[in-house]
Structure 1
Amino acid sequence: MGRLSTHVLDTVSGGPAADVAVELYRLTADGGRTLVTTRRTNADGRTDTPLLAGDDFLPGTYELVFHIGAHFRATGAPVADPPFLDVVPLRVTLIEGHYHVPLLCSPWSYSTYRGS
């Protein structure tokens, strides 16, 4: 059994990014995608439950979509109009095990890695 979790960190404030909408899509071989779940990050920048776990975890390619532009507008961070980064999509291939995908972001940049 596998599990997919995430954590969003705001590098402008130096802390967790709360109330960020995160969508998870499963990608199909023909280029389509199916919405699996939509969550919001809590005060710690994490979702309250994993995005995928147990029987819902199926090997394949997924796309996490982070709506960070709304977070930065809500916090009063300096955001261009239109924002340079508004929605950040990340594609990951899951096989088995625990996948943790942190997103470190600002209105101008982001980075990610496979965490533990």
Structure 2
Amino acid sequence: MKKLAVTVIFLLLSACGASTAGEHHGEETIRVQGIVQVLHSGSRSETVIITDDATGEVFALVGEMAFDLTPQYGMTTSVNGRLTEEGYSVREDLRKIYVTDYAITDGEFQ
């Protein structure tokens, strides 16, 4: 019974909030919802970014799935991933998210 209660609490905490953080193989995981934009589109410096609706923080999105989002720029998107130092961003001041999953939303966090 205690194990079930702990599991329920964990699931509730995981589902709350616009951004959640945890551990994934020693790296911080994050979930962000916001508008996707592309900097330097079509160039070798192309960078996909997302502005978190909850905090206003801008993140660079990296990894193969990040570039799948390029045609979705300007749309509200929910992104799951892990914070990383790897990958390229034209803006070096941005924290980077290695995208592991995403969903196009219509303003509602999924």
Give the TM-score, by structure 2 length.
Answer: 0.30
**Structure with the greater relative contact order (CA < 8 A, sep ≥ 6): 1 or 2?**
1
Give the TM-score, by structure 1 length.
Answer: 0.29
Higher helix proportion, which one?
2
